[in-house]
Amino acid sequence: MDKVKITLKDGSVKEVPKGITILEVAKMIGGRLAKEAVAGEVDGKVTDLNYEIHKDCEINILKFEDENGEEVFRHTSAHVLAQAVQRLFPQTKLAIGPSIENGYYYDFDSEHKFTPEDLQKIEKEMEKIVKENLEVERFELPREEALKLMEEKGERYKVELIKELPEDETISFYKQGDFIDLCRGPHLPTTKYIKALKLLSTAGAYWRGDEKNKMLQRIYGTSFPKKKLLDEYLHRLEEAKKRDHRKLGKELKLFTILEEGPGFPFFLPNGMELKNTLMEYWREVHKKAGYVEVETPIILNRKLWETSGHWHHYKENMYALQIDEEDYAIKPMNCPGGMLVYKTEMRSYRDFPMRVGEIGRVHRHELSGALHGLMRVRAFTQDDAHIFMLPEQIKDEIKGVAKLIDEIYTKFGFKYHVELSTRPEDSMGSDEEWEMAESALKEALEELKLPYKLNEGDGAFYGPKIDFHLEDCIGRTWQCGTIQLDFQLPQRFDLTYIGKDGEKHRPIVIHRVAFGSIERFIGILIEHFAGKFPTWLAPVQVKILPITDRQAEYAEKIVEQLEDQGIKVEIDSRSEKIGYKIREAQLQKVPYMLIVGDKEEESQTVSVRSRDNGELGSQKVEDFVEKIISEIENRTLNTIEE
């Protein structure tokens, strides 16, 4: 029997019979792996488990936990959804059904309007298809036969897709039972792998995202290989609904978005307190790290945006206007202005590294359908910094930025992971520049002992980058911090410095953000803390609650004591019962309530109640002030327990 050599993920090499499938390789390695396997990778290409091996190659067995494995699992789930819909509503035509983050969707053209009750029926039909354990088989047809098959089935959207494929391309399909779908694959071997599934919602979607085309009906779903994983995911969804920053932002009077300015948030007094506290913290850590701060104009002329490349490559996202019959644009990013600041004087190698920060207001034209509270807006504040340096300083500066971002995220209790994206196909700069830059980034991460995921070919066209993905308390990830090396802007703006040799040289530039968009970061913080901000961040840190009007004077005296120490304090002097006032303060998620009655006034104390820990008992005002100031100054995450 002919043999082929396969190299496994751990580097080991095995001789196996020619024609063996990926699933058979998994069984050969171990029963558990075979049970958990959902797909394979052959020489880096994702394949079905029943893919046959006919030559020497590298093999990786994918499980659901692997990103590509999860994608295959969810893609097959989308096919099960489509099959269930066509069983129940036979006249339905199929559009597309990809896997997406945390699930999948399928777009349908149906005269029937899908209702929540229909989703329950479709879900039951999907479960039935799973139990039927239908084999998922791949087959290929020449172009003309493929067109004929889809035309006979009346699948006009599939016909349109086939016509756009190259004429000499063989077309692949996947079949499960009597259901056939045009698809590149790969897929699970059978439908039984999908142990737990849930349909989540419906939405309208134009065919191909073009509003000139017909509006289709999109059904969203998710699926898992274990019911426990589905239950955990649905719990996280429920938790996310409770934490929705749009709902909490309204309840806590932090921000609002009005019809007069869609995508342009209005920050209310409480929201501004929060935003200003964040910016004060930003300024403090950056000053300590050797940054200077600048401010660049919001509106600059067309010539600048042509120099930066934005006028030709980003214009559809920019707001343009005319001043004195000349074209201008509102800045969508701070970088070009930062380059002009650099050019205000001649620089020397002795000036480096130059760390220049800017908390800059930027505007981008986002489509109305993409807007989402503070997470996706048209006007936001970006905490940019540009570091100008010598080639030999790259590694140390990258390490400095990574440490600073780590310090910031740790302060808010976030865990995070790091991804390094390398040179894309369409890139600027020489091989030497890219090799130097990528090596410096890798070495910096390795010296910091920061594990990272490598995204080959996913860097920006002007340089490689490091992205920081923070994880909130319910397990969602958000890409916020970025470190990007840039070869393009220094060339476009002809940035130079005088080197040791007395000649002009071009500096290396790092772009970096920590918060990213401060508005979006606030949205993340609201959801992460469910509105219960740590005391140092809270817009109102203490609420004074007099039991009756008799304590008004004593309560005012306490307010003065706290305000003198810089504590953010409010008094609830309404003629309401104390229980009502406490409930209101709890709903406003104020960290501390100080209850004052006749007994407290007589003993010159306060009865302290913590939002998180309940009653803390009677305390001298001075003792309470000392504890809360320590909590604020140290920016601790937890409130006083006793």
The catalytic site residues sit at 335, 364, 382, 384, 386, 465, 511
Q: Which of 431, 489, 421, 430 is nearest to 460 (CA)?
A: 421
C-alpha span between 415 and 453 (Å, rounded): 15
| Distance set, CA 55 to CA 3, 7, 369, 626 (Å) | 9, 11, 49, 73
Residues forming beta bridges with residue 206, ordered by sequence position:
215
DSSP 207: G
- Contact (CB, 8 A) for 397 and 511: no
The token pair at 532 is: 């219960």
C-alpha span between 328 and 306 (Å, rounded): 11
The token pair at 475 is: 């397990």
Q: At what angle do helices 143-152 and 156-163 cross, to 10 degrees?
A: 160
- The rounded radius of gyration (Å) of the Cα atoms in the chain is 30
DSSP 18: T
Residues 268, 404, 377, 365: is their CA dihedral positive or negative? positive
C-alpha span between 542 and 561 (Å, rounded): 12
The residues near 323 (Cβ < 8 Å, ≥ 6 apart) are 299
Q: How far apart are the first and last CA of the chain?
A: 76
C-alpha span between 283 and 65 (Å, rounded): 40
C-alpha span between 573 and 267 (Å, rounded): 26
Q: Residue 15 CB: number of other CB atoms within 10 A? A: 9
Look at residue 262 and give its three-state secondary structure: coil
C-alpha span between 504 and 349 (Å, rounded): 10
Q: What's phi and psi for 206, nearest 5 deg?
A: -70, 140
Q: What's phi and psi for 258, nearest 5 deg?
A: -105, 160
Cα–chain center distance at 500: 43
Please tell me the total number of residues recorded for the chain in this structure: 642
Residue type, 581: K
The H or E element spanning position 435 is: helix 431-447
